[in-house]
Amino acid sequence: MSIYLDNAATTPVCPQAAKAAYEAMTEGYGNPSSGYAIGQAAAAKVKEYRAVVADRLGCLPEELTFTSCGTEGDNWAIRAAVEHGKRTGKHIITTAIEHSAVLEPLRALAAQGYEVTHLKPDKSGHVSAQALADALRPDTVLVSMMLVNNELGTLQPVAEAARAIKAAHCPSLLHCDAVQAFLKVPFTPKELGVDLLTISGHKIRAPKGIGAQYIRKGLDVKPLLLGGGQENGLRSGTEPTAQLAALAAACEAWDTNAPARMAAVKAHALTALSAVPGLEMISPGDAPHICAISLPGYPSEMLVRDLSDRGIYVSSGSACHKGKPSHVFAALGLPKRTLMGVLRISFSPDSTCEEADALAAALTEITQTRIAMR
């Protein structure tokens, strides 16, 4: 029996989402752009799916554009924002702990002459709202700040950033990567004060290959894809009805008590892990589902493999790093021994305290075996 504790990387597809996708593929297979009955039935379903996701996000259906994933949404938001502000300036603010889907397109823009300010976190993994306010300039065209960090679970001051932008009379647009926050912490785009916001389905038990982009009503952005005019002309291409059905079903299936259950299991895990010899807490995480620990002196990849051999699955950071050192943990200024032994643990609504105990027991066994071999 396996124990999966890497839900920040991806989640198993829930039965409701799988069923909805199957039905859309086998029964509701019409092209929504077709004029005949099964095509129009599919178009009506797409409208329903959009309304469901928008309702769970807390926005208007017309403010929601479907995408393929969080990376696409982040890239689009950045590109749209700099295009929107091209007559205003070439200054961008982000944080040093953003996902690579934000940092890499910003790196490309820097090579094109944009100036990018990277706000550093404190040792707890939090970025200062005051540092953001101090960094704003009249030529700032974009602030991109995630709501929940994908490796630390820390909440970042997005709403405070919106207020700072407004108070400074800055022309900047505000983008939020909310991939790890959606359905896990309470927010709406309006409450945050964002202009653009990105979510992804496979973090909430929908399949990979579907996401959504919030675009504030009234904000004029350039289309991502040109073609047949789908998605109100913003992202052309035949609608992936099966993925849309699954995303809507996953949203409906997400229990409103899920965050509390995840938080309870995480709290139990933190207590159990505190008894592991030599273990250090890197971040208990503000969000209910992510925390980060370290076993100094034990290489992360070795720990991941040893745990995998025991049927327990955790990660050494974002799956997008593919074994490379995490820029997020590096930004905390951790000692080298601590940095080399970092693990991220992330829970789902189905995670249990027994699984957390098994993880703690396995890490204890690994450390005791290493000590015995010395």
Distance CA 76, CA 196 (A): 10
Q: What are phi and psi of 362, to 5 degrees?
A: -65, -45
Angle, to 10 degrees, between the axis of helix 353-373 and the axis of helix 258-273?
Answer: 20
End-to-end Cα distance, the chain: 31
Look up residue 164 and give its amino acid.
A
Is 320 noted as a catalytic residue in this protein? yes
Please give the full DSSP string across 232-267, using - where no structure is assigned.
GGTB-S---HHHHHHHHHHHHHS-TTHHHHHHHHHH
Task: Give the length of the chain.
Answer: 374
**244, two tokens:** 């849309």
pLDDT tens for the 374 residues of the chain, in order: 799 999 999 999 999 999 999 999 999 999 999 999 999 999 999 999 999 999 999 999 999 999 999 999 999 999 999 999 999 999 999 999 999 999 999 999 999 999 999 999 999 999 999 999 999 999 999 999 999 999 999 999 999 999 999 999 999 999 999 999 999 999 999 999 999 999 999 999 999 999 999 999 999 999 999 999 999 999 999 999 999 999 999 999 999 999 999 999 999 999 999 999 999 999 999 999 999 999 999 999 999 999 999 999 999 865 555 556 789 999 999 999 999 999 999 999 999 999 999 999 999 999 987 655 55
The radius of gyration of the chain from alpha carbons, rounded to an integer in Å, stands at 21
CB-based contacts of 138, cutoff 8 Å, min separation 6: 89, 170, 171
In the chain, what are the domains? 3-12+256-373 (3.90.1150.10), 15-253 (3.40.640.10)
Between the alpha carbon of residue 77 and those of residues 25, 83, 156, 223, the distances in Å are 30, 10, 18, 11
Q: Around 162, how many Cα atoms within 13 Å sit in the side-chain half-sphere?
A: 17
3-state DSSP assignment of residue 144: strand
Q: Which of 14, 176, 251, 320 is catalytic?
A: 320
* pLDDT tens digit sequence for 204-249: 999 999 999 999 999 999 999 999 999 999 999 999 999 999 999 9
Q: Which of 188, 113, 195 is nearest to 162 (CA)?
A: 195
Quote the CA–CA distance of 40 and 171 in Å, as a whole number: 41
Q: Are β-strands 115-119 and 290-294 bridged in parallel, bridged antiparallel, or unpaired?
A: unpaired
Residue 240 and residue 287: Cα distance in Å, rounded?
Answer: 31
Q: How far is CA 108 from the centre of its chain?
A: 21
Measured CA to CA in angstroms, residue 321 lies from 244, 291, 292, 312, 344 at distances of: 28, 18, 16, 20, 13
What pLDDT shows up at residue 318?
A: 56
Residues with Cβ within 8 Å of residue 82, at least 6 apart in sequence: 90, 92, 109, 114, 141, 142
Q: Other C-beta atoms within 10 Å of 141: how many?
A: 23
Alpha helices in 58-127 (DSSP H): 70-84, 100-111
Quote the crossing angle between the two packed helices 37-57 and 241-253, to the nearest 10°. Answer: 40
Rounded to whole angstroms, the Cα distance separating 148 from 130 reads 18
CA distances from 51 to 64, 163, 182, 185 (A): 9, 29, 16, 20
Displacement of CA 338 from its chain's centroid (Å): 25
| Residue 279 DSSP SS3 | coil
At residue 203, the pLDDT reads 98
Distance CA 176, CA 214 (A): 10
pLDDT the model gives residue 259: 98
